[in-house]
Structure 1
């Protein structure tokens, strides 16, 4: 991309991290709706290797990567970045985002997608206050979670950075929080694993190609 291209002409690029154990429609469909809402042309999925804030995945990194690739095979919106899977230490979002920012330059509008649940607990993340120096935050709606932050200080931080006009996201490289009007899908990987452990069907919860892979690999039994 030419370095002399005006900032307003740059395309917003978004990243979406997760354990993806397994990837499912609760990941994919809200992000597709978000892409339509804010004009994303590409979303890069970042599967975690060793998530620092949650129990370790049941499927191994190679299996989770295979499921992600199957899930997005027919969706040109999505690509996958394997860098976090190659780590043997905990994956901190800020470290990955700073690495990507360095690779792609200071001018590129870059966003990281999180859920409302993650927004509410963001102050517990490693170096969370540095995130908006590196990227925008795009927040997906999550069923059952409060809209207000837990303290007046955190609520003030949110209101300071929150915008309602998504076109602003492409005009600055970082610094904004946009809460999207995406569908509330009550689907979780925990629920899917529990259903599979119990021999229950999951056809409506994740792509058929992923479900077939799970069956062939004997996962979540």
Structure 2
């Protein structure tokens, strides 16, 4: 049986404990062997991150230097065009083959809006969805049809995530870490400390790079 690996995407502008701690708790719950952090390429019609792609990658590397669960995968930053999650998963499937179990980690907020994602119905043919709680979001889907879809794919048996390559949804009992990158950037703009919000090595890098100082 192959080890269960998962992907976790985000802008990571900057990476913080709200990203890392729920995923570490999830990994412990279900026996995740490795989590690939995927910094997103931001489409032209979206607000651009304050940090450059290279700076966002470097902050991730600082954050995970002592966290062996994580690795950084920069494939989405290499694309000129917006990177759809389903396309990234298809590429990984082509690399790894059809059998190894693969998870995609999302927050409760993303699960609730999943029907607006590009080719969302194809996701479960490629991976399991591993859902972390998010503060302030509903527990149920927005329509009876989506709620039925969720219930049809739910599992409460973590072993199934290791035994099947894809197709299941796991609702993780992860800690609610109410931290946002927006809040961190605003605190930095105001000269306020962020010591409890992100790893010390990331704060050191932000200081050295002169980020978020407006």
Tell me the TM-score normalized by structure 2. Answer: 0.97
Pick from 48, 55, 63 the counterpart of residue 63 of structure 1. 55
Task: Report matched runs for 1:28-107 at 5 Å.
Answer: 28-51=20-43, 55-107=47-99
Aligned to 1:6: none
1:138-163 deviations in whole A, cap 9, x for unaligned?
00010100001010111111011111
For structure 2, the 5+ residue unaligned runs are: none
Aligned to 1:27: 19
Name the CA distance, whole Å, in 1 between partners of 2:80 and 2:94.
22
Equivalent pairs, count: 213
Pick from 119, 131, 149 the counterpart of residue 139 of structure 1. 131
Name the CA distance, whole Å, in 1 between partners of 2:48 and 2:120.
22
1:24-56 deviations in whole A, cap 9, x for unaligned?
000001110000000011111111112589532
**Does the residue aligned with 1:69 lie in a helix, a strand or coil?**
helix
Contact 1:50 / 1:88 at 8 angstroms: preserved in 2?
no
Alpha-carbon spacing, 1:35–1:90, altered in 2? closer, same or farther (3 Å)? same
Aligned to 1:129: 121
For structure 1, the 5+ residue unaligned runs are: 1-8
Alpha-carbon spacing, 1:45–1:168, altered in 2? closer, same or farther (3 Å)? same
Pick from 3, 17, 27 the counterpart of residue 9 of structure 2. 17
Task: Report matched runs for 1:179-198 at 5 Å.
Answer: 179-198=171-190
1:42-100 deviations in whole A, cap 9, x for unaligned?
11111111258953211110000000000001111101111111112111101000000
**1:202 maps onto 2:184 in alignment:** no
**Does the residue aligned with 1:15 lie in a helix, a strand or coil?**
strand
Q: Which aligned runs of 4 or more in structure 1 are off by greater than 2 angstroms?
A: 51-56
Contact 1:42 / 1:78 at 8 angstroms: preserved in 2?
yes
